[in-house]
Amino acid sequence: MGPPSSYLHGTSFSEQRRLSLLNNLVNQGSLRELGLRGGESVLEMGSGLGDFAREMARQVGRRGRVVGIERSLRQLQRARRRIASPASGRVEFRRGDALSPPLQPREWGSFDVAHARFLLEHLRDPLTAVRQMVRAVRPGGRIVLEDDDHDVLRLHPPPAGFMSLWRAYMRSFRVLGNDPVIGRKLPALLYRAGARPTRNAWVFFGSCSGHRDFPLFLENLTEVLGSARRTLLSEELIATEKFHVAMRSLRDWGERPDAAIYYSISWAEGRRP
C-alpha cells in the first residue's frame, strides 16, 4: 500500500499565517483565470482558511453560493470565524474529506463550478477527489484544478545550495505519499475522472527584488522550507548542515538587488459531459 498521504506543513499558527499570506498573493490571479460571472453555485474542495471561498462568494454575488469543504478542524474553525457578515449568506463551510465530501443527495450534480487549489498534491488518491468533483457539478458544469509542479521553480542568481534543498523538499512529498509534480498531470486527471479537458494555463507566482511584494514571496518560500524541516531531517533527505547552509544562503540572497523568483501554478479546467 505504501505510506499514507499527509500534509507536509502541519497546521501550526505559523503555517496558518503563511497560508493567509499565500492566499493574498495568489487570489487575484486565480480569480482572473476562473472568470466567475455572478450567480454561480461553487463547490470549493480543500477550502482551508476560506480566504479564496470568500473571494469567490463576492464574485458570485447574492444570487450565487459557495460551499467550502475542509478536513482540518482547526482551519475550518478559523474559516467560520472569519466569515464577514455581508458574505455570510453566500458562503458555507463544512467539515469533510475531498474523497467523500459531505453533500446532500440533492446537491450532487447541481454545482456550476467545482474548484480545488493546492489540494491534489497532498492526496494519496487525487483521482478519486477529481471524480467526486465531476460528480458534484451539473452536466456542462466546470471542474477547475490549480496545483503545484514544484519542478518549475527557478531562483536567479541561484543561491548556493538551494537547489539541493529544493530537490530534497520535493522528495519529502513522495515520502509522505504525495506528488510534488502533480500540476503537469491535471488535464490527464480530468480526463480519467470523466470530464472533458477544455483549457490549461499558468498562474504566474513570482517577483523580483525591486517590487514591493518581493519580501512576501521570499517569506512564503522561506516558511515553506522551514515547516518541512522536521520531515527533511528525520527522513535524512538532506544533511542537517546542508539544510542550514542553504537556508542562510536563501536569506542572504533575498538581500540582493538582482534577485528574482520565477514560479507558476498549474491550471486546468474541464466540463462534465
pLDDT of the residue at 25 = 86
CATH numbers and ranges of domains, the chain: 13-271 (3.40.50.150)
Strands, E assignment, the chain: 41-45, 65-70, 91-95, 111-117, 137-147, 154-156, 196-204, 207-208, 260-262, 264-271
pLDDT of the residue at 116 = 98
The pair phi, psi for residue 265, each rounded to 5°, is -90, 130
pLDDT of the residue at 2 = 39
Query: Helix, strand, or coil here: 66?
Result: strand
What Å distances lie between residue 59 and 140, 215, 261, 265, CA to CA?
A: 20, 29, 30, 21
Per-position pLDDT tens, the chain of length 273: 334 455 555 556 666 666 677 777 899 999 999 999 999 999 999 999 899 999 999 999 999 999 999 999 988 888 888 776 555 558 999 999 999 999 999 999 999 999 999 999 999 999 999 999 999 999 999 999 999 999 999 999 999 999 999 999 999 999 999 999 999 999 999 999 999 999 999 999 999 999 999 999 999 999 999 999 999 999 999 999 999 999 999 999 999 999 999 999 999 999 999
pLDDT of the residue at 84 = 60
- Going 74 to 94 to 149 to 193, the CA torsion angle's sign is positive
pLDDT of the residue at 89 = 59
* CA dist., res. 57 & res. 67, Å (int): 9
pLDDT of the residue at 4 = 43
C-beta atoms surrounding 62 within 10 Å:
12
pLDDT of the residue at 21 = 72
C-beta atoms surrounding 63 within 10 Å:
10
